Amino acid sequence: MRINYFRLLLICAFSTTPLTSFFPASAEAAPSAPAGPDGLTGSQIQRLESGDILVRVEPGTSSIKTVTSIGEVAASAADVYLLTTDFKNYARIYDSIASVQVEPQTAREVEATFQLRTPWPLPWRTVTTLTRLDPAHFAFRWRRTAGSMRLYDGRMQADPLDDHHCLVFYSARVDPGFGWLPGWFVTWGQGYVLPSIIRAIRQTLAVRTGPYWASGVQRPPFGAPLASAS
């Protein structure tokens, strides 16, 4: 599933869906704490088991908030981790990414620069991120270090449910760098964008067709045990 995130963000501006339907007043996101299912209610777990993707927004007065999407994926946590850390191939998964340049990485850190497509007449965005890997917990977190995007940080974690299912937590805080775009609207748009990331993970690992699975593309060894970096 190829997703143009900025196009979705602009579409949100003309949506009649109330803001509260995406961000319930009782919902919370805690990207600085370990993600896990312990904070979920029974009804939320039932929704996740039925295939729904939940969205949480951190409380507070900041105009740019951390938004978290949570969804179950019918794949191992190791395979989800391998896919989401395959940065060089992001442009084959996400249509909004025009190109990626990945610097030589260490066992624990990856620096990558992404060029992001935006709808005409908006200028394309660039962002360089430094990602800290945590393979032992099928997780990573990143922060912006340069680029035209003013803010981009977040984390991903895949919590195993069994050998072939996991619960994915994807959190992000974003400011695309358009001064006229209010923070509340960016947060609202993330309510569309982040669930689409989980849907893309599901689709890519389930269908195994499309640009990511094209012949000649170098991919991680899905299905193999994940080696932890020391």
Task: Kindly report the CATH number assigned to the domain that includes residue 88.
Answer: 3.30.530.20
Most confidently modeled range among 16-20, 64-68, 191-195? 64-68
In a domain, 137, yes or no: yes
The answer as to whether 47 is a domain residue is yes
% of the chain surpassing 70 pLDDT: 81
Q: 132: which strand partners?
A: 109, 141
Q: Which helix (H) or strand (E) holds 9?
A: helix 5-12
Mean pLDDT of the chain: 82
Strands 67-73 and 109-116: unpaired
Within a domain: 227: no
Its pTM surpasses 0.85: no
161: buried, middle or exposed (CB in 10 Å: 19+, 13-18, 0-12)? Answer: middle
Is residue 101, in this structure, part of any structural domain at all? Answer: yes
Q: Which pLDDT belongs to residue 118? A: 80
pLDDT value, residue 31: 37
Whose structure tokens read 């794949």? 75
pLDDT: is 71 or 61 the higher one?
Answer: 71
The pLDDT value given to residue 227: 64
| Residue among 157, 123, 153 nearest 140 (CA) | 157
Name the token pair of 140: 């990573």
Residue 76 lies in a domain: yes
Residue with more model confidence, 220 or 34 = 220
Residue type, 143: R
What pLDDT sits at residue 228?
Answer: 56
DSSP 22-40: TS-TT----TTS---GGG-
How far is residue 124's CA from residue 196's CA, in Å, rounded to a whole number? 21
- Residue 208, domain member (yes or no): yes
Q: Which domain holds residue 116?
A: 5-213
pLDDT digits (tens, 9 = 90+) for 114-146: 999 887 788 999 999 999 999 999 999 999 999
Residue 220 lies in a domain: no
Region of 98 please: left (phi>0), alpha (psi -120 to 50) or beta: alpha
- The side-by-side arrangement of strands in the sheet containing 151-162 is 54-57, 67-73, 165-175, 151-162, 139-147, 125-134, 109-116, 97-102
What pLDDT sits at residue 32?
A: 38
The span from the CA of 165 to the CA of 111, in Å, is 29
pLDDT single digits (tens) 190-227? 888 889 899 999 999 999 889 999 999 999 999 877 76
> 179 lies in a domain?
yes
pLDDT band per the 50, 70, 90 thresholds, residue 80: very high
Q: What is the pLDDT of residues 151-191, one digit of tens each?
A: 999 999 999 999 999 999 999 999 988 888 888 888 888 88
Burial of 154 (0-12, 13-18, 19+ CB in 10 A): buried
Contact status, residue 161 vs residue 72, Cβ threshold 8 Å: yes
Instruction: Decide if pLDDT at 12 tops 60.
Output: no
Cis peptide before 195 (omega within 30 of 0): no
The total number of structural domains that make up the chain: 1
